[in-house]
Amino acid sequence: MNRILYSGVALATCMMSSHALAGQLTAWVIDGDSEKPYFTQLQETFNAKYGAEGITLNVVPIPSYNEAIQAATLSGGLPDVIMLDGPNMASVAWAGTIQPIGDLLDPAILEDLLPAIKAQGTYGPQEEFYFVSPYDSGTILWGNKAMLEKAGVRIPTSVDDAWTRAEMGEALAKLAALPEVEWPLDVKMNYGAGEWMTYGFSPFAQSNGGDIIDRQTWTAEGTINSDANVDTLTTLQDWNKAGYIVPASAGDNKFYGEKTAALSWVGNWMWPAHREGLGDDLVLIPPPAFGEAGPISANGGWGWAVPSSSSNLADVKVFLNYAMSSEQVAAYADTTGYVPSRASAIPLSKTYGEGGAGELFAKLAACCAVVRPVHPAYPVITNAWATAVVNVLSGDVDVKSELDRAAKTIDQDIADNDGYPPFGQ
Amino acid sequence: MRIRTKGQGQELAMLLPALFFIIALIVTPFLLSVWFSFTDQRLVPRPIPTKFIGTTNYERMFVDPLFWQAIWNTVVFALIVTPVQLAMSLGAAMVLNSAIPFRGFFRSIAILPLLLPMTVIVSIWAVLFRIPAGPFNAVYQWFAGQGNYVDFLGNPSTAMLSVVALSAWATFPYQMLIYLAGLQDIPQDLYEAAKLDGAKPWQRFRYITWPGLRNVNIFLLIITTVGALKLFTQVDILTKGGPNGATTTIIHYLFKQGYATQKVGYASAVAVFFFLAVTAIALLQRRFLKNEGEA
């Protein structure tokens, strides 16, 4: 039946598809402006290195990427290598669209991957490796140093001296009292009830000992609506009621443009805008410790996967190991601004290496990143959590009821899919 | 009753292309939706087979409070936006049909919203609604004093009204153009005769214009109502259905179920319900509002 749903797009994608030929590799990649120079470099350097051995690489940026992948899956037109967004990997693996790549990657590379990157690529009860990302992302508190100093707020510089929840609450109260501050904390409510609400807010829950699903039993009841999560979201709701959080209708630029917010909780993709807006006043502050687990950062992003239909595995192996070499991983990071996913690539990066401006990001990625649940029900899990977070931060709703509803939605979906076998068996 | 087809081969042949597209693009997808609504069909392929689950999707839909909230919001939106938009359209059409200076220029200006994609209009209005000092709040502060503002989109009591205002403005020129054509169809000698008889402007509107627009009104009432019931783009970009579901509409609910959470079977049940509801409303409107000359 899905064939009918996608037939139109499938027809178009068939035109773009490439069939595996020995020595000729095709990789589909996302069509982003910031990634484009890297992919051009990847193709050129790969072909220069392996062309003489008879292996050539064709990197194809694909617009409307997810739709194209779905359509090509149905039409049997997937290339040798594809990119996937980390949180979507589990549902693609569950559908049988991609194959394990643990045997294709050099064990030294697997060993060298940051822990959360390894977790992001590991799927199923058998813990097979399906997906590898050349980079990691992360969330951090960005601060306006002038405002923080004026308010007399201590500025943490490392994970070890991160603010506690109480300390952050006090800091927000002091910052809110400054005449130039309208709302002290921007948590990007303007991004709406999408993936950001899971990416950006589940770290607070995890820091307080909670999570959005039990990763052993794969049930949401008792975890997403746990007392710890109620406590976490109640604090955020209280901050919102106290007028500490920039509302969605206030737009995106209160921190870096109008400079009427003193702190911003957002990922590393906002770095260029923050740097341009605040200049020397910009400080990077570790995530707050909401509870016993200490500071937690989000993680994950796009990476490489190999379709089940791909048969040219000897050449794919060469490509994967080249794309995940320390030099290429560092090049990806320096071109796009994301954190290198290999420990050995971090010192090679100008931004994230020792003394680099993004050193804190690299440290967070190594010590304190928690992967989003690698489970085929992830689309439902993230949507249920995001809806609850947005509702809690939009008014005076009962936190427990919102989380109970999320638990019911997730568990019902998992039951509807027979537990997503082999999960739950 | 026997349908006469003899000698109508040419007419039937000319109907075939339209019939083909209606069957391919409307009837077949609807029948598929009906089938999907009784299954647990998902958006993406999966290793377990799609199952026939009877009326489970419908049973779940009818007990979901968010579904009923979406229905309520959609009905409220349609009940407010339809008369507001028709009144705006008729008023604008009457002004542009009168002998005002630069009439051609104003007619061109009035259809500008129709030339902009809805996504652009919504983005512009998002800036207008911005707090604390967006243009609308600047006007509000003129009356309420500096430092006061209204979070039009963040407050459940004003969010839907904000969407109504935006929607009415964004699409009223379409109805206005149809009203303009309707007004130009009313014979001028009726107005001249009424003036000679001493009829005031309101009486001329009440006894000539309004009855003269009967067919136009019925057409516009039906298409505006159906259009209002399909509200999606404005809500998806501006409020994502929030705050706390205050602007969730039935189509937005359907989209979230079918696309974001990939439950195509459940979304199909919502689509079937929506189709039947809209058809019933349109038929009721036709039943109670007869065109001029109809029995």
Choose the weakest-confidence range: A31-35, A391-395, B271-275, B288-292. B288-292
Q: Any residues with CB less than 8 A from the CB of A307 and at least 6 apart, and which? A: A73, A78, A79, A80, A81, A82, A97, A98, A99
**pLDDT of B8 higher than 50:** yes
**pLDDT of A1 higher than 60:** no
A392-419 average pLDDT score: 93
Q: Which amino acid is at A185?
A: L
B207-214 average pLDDT score: 92
Looking at every residue in chain B, the average pLDDT score rounds to: 89
Question: What's residue B17's pLDDT?
Answer: 92
Closest residue on chain B to A195 (Cα): B260
Q: Does A391 touch chain B (CB under 8 A)?
A: yes
The verdict on a CB contact (< 8 Å) between B151 and A70 is: no
pTM assigned to the model: 0.86
B73-84 average pLDDT score: 95
Choice between A60 and B103, residue whose per-residue pLDDT is larger: A60
The fold of the A2-137+300-367 domain, in CATH, is D-Maltodextrin-Binding Protein; domain 2 (3.40.190)
Q: Does A4 touch chain B (CB under 8 A)?
A: yes
**pLDDT of A257 higher than 80:** yes
Multiple choice CATH, B66-288, 3.10.180.10, 1.10.3720.10, 3.10.20.10, 3.20.20.70 = 1.10.3720.10
Question: What's residue A38's pLDDT?
Answer: 93
Pair of tokens at residue A231: 């406590």
Q: Which amino acid is at A10?
A: A
> B154: distance to nearest CA of chain A, Å?
6
* Partner residue opposite A248 with nearest CB, options B32, B36, B154: B154
List CB contacts (< 8 A) between A251 and chain B. 127, 130
In terms of DSSP bridges, do strands A263-267 and A185-186 run parallel, antiparallel, or are they unpaired?
parallel
Question: What's residue B7's pLDDT?
Answer: 67
Which residue stretches of A208-307 are H helix? 227-241, 271-278
> B240: distance to nearest CA of chain A, Å?
7
Give tens-digit pLDDT for A207-218. 999 999 999 999
Indicate if the alpha-carbon torsion angle B167, A258, A263, B137 is positive or negative.
negative
Q: Does A309 touch chain B (CB under 8 A)?
A: no
Looking at every residue in chain A, the average pLDDT score rounds to: 89
* Partner residue opposite A94 with nearest CB, options B46, B50, B156: B46
B223-240 average pLDDT score: 91
Question: What's residue A14's pLDDT?
Answer: 42
Question: What's residue B116's pLDDT?
Answer: 87
**pLDDT of B3 higher than 70:** no
Question: What's residue A13's pLDDT?
Answer: 42
CA distances from A192 to B10, B162, B244 (A): 55, 17, 12
> B249: distance to nearest CA of chain A, Å?
15
**pLDDT of A200 higher than 90:** yes
Give tens-digit pLDDT for B52-66. 999 999 999 999 999
Choose the weakest-confidence range: B3-17, B38-52, B109-123, B162-176. B3-17
Domain range list for chain A: 2-137+300-367
Choose the weakest-confidence range: A169-183, A220-234, B272-286. B272-286
Residue B242: which pLDDT band, with cuts at 50, 70 and 90?
Answer: confident
Question: What's residue A15's pLDDT?
Answer: 42
Residue A33: which pLDDT band, with cuts at 50, 70 and 90?
Answer: confident
- Count Cβ atoms below 10 Å from residue B54 Cβ, excluding itself: 10
Q: Does A8 touch chain B (CB under 8 A)?
A: no
Q: Does B187 touch chain A (CB under 8 A)?
A: no
Residue B288: which pLDDT band, with cuts at 50, 70 and 90?
Answer: confident
* Partner residue opposite A94 with nearest CB, options B43, B47, B132: B47
**A345 touches A324 (CB < 8 A):** no
Residue B4: which pLDDT band, with cuts at 50, 70 and 90?
Answer: low
Give this complex's ipTM.
0.80
CA distances from A394 to A45, A233, B71 (A): 50, 12, 21
* Residue of A249, A253, A378 to mutate when probing chain B, most B C-beta within 10 A: A249
A135 sits in which H/E element:
strand A135-136
Residue A328: which pLDDT band, with cuts at 50, 70 and 90?
Answer: very high
Strand blocks (E) in B165-231: none
Choice between A201 and A271, residue whose per-residue pLDDT is larger: A201
The verdict on a CB contact (< 8 Å) between A95 and B46 is: yes
- Count Cβ atoms below 10 Å from residue B35 Cβ, excluding itself: 15
A291-319 average pLDDT score: 93
> A380: distance to nearest CA of chain B, Å?
5
Give tens-digit pLDDT for A149-176. 999 999 999 999 999 999 999 999 999 9
Q: Any residues with CB less than 8 A from the CB of A240 and at least 6 apart, and which? A: A393
The verdict on a CB contact (< 8 Å) between A249 and B153 is: yes
Pair of tokens at residue A53: 């051995």
Q: How far apart are CA A212 and CA A221, in angstroms?
A: 9
B10-33 average pLDDT score: 92
**A286 touches A139 (CB < 8 A):** no
Interface of A with B in 202-261 (CB under 8 A): 247-251
The verdict on a CB contact (< 8 Å) between B244 and A73 is: no
A82-110 average pLDDT score: 93
Question: What's residue A29's pLDDT?
Answer: 93
Q: Does B30 touch chain A (CB under 8 A)?
A: no
* Partner residue opposite A1 with nearest CB, options B50, B132, B242: B50
Residue A424: which pLDDT band, with cuts at 50, 70 and 90?
Answer: confident
List CB contacts (< 8 A) between A97 and chain B. 45
Cis-peptide, bond into residue A288, ω within 30° of zero? no
> Please, how many CA atoms are within 13 Å of residue A32, restricted to the half-sphere of its CB?
11
Closest residue on chain B to A422 (Cα): B47
* Partner residue opposite B244 with nearest CB, options A5, A397, A421: A397
Residue A12: which pLDDT band, with cuts at 50, 70 and 90?
Answer: very low
What residues form DSSP beta bridges with A289?
Answer: A164
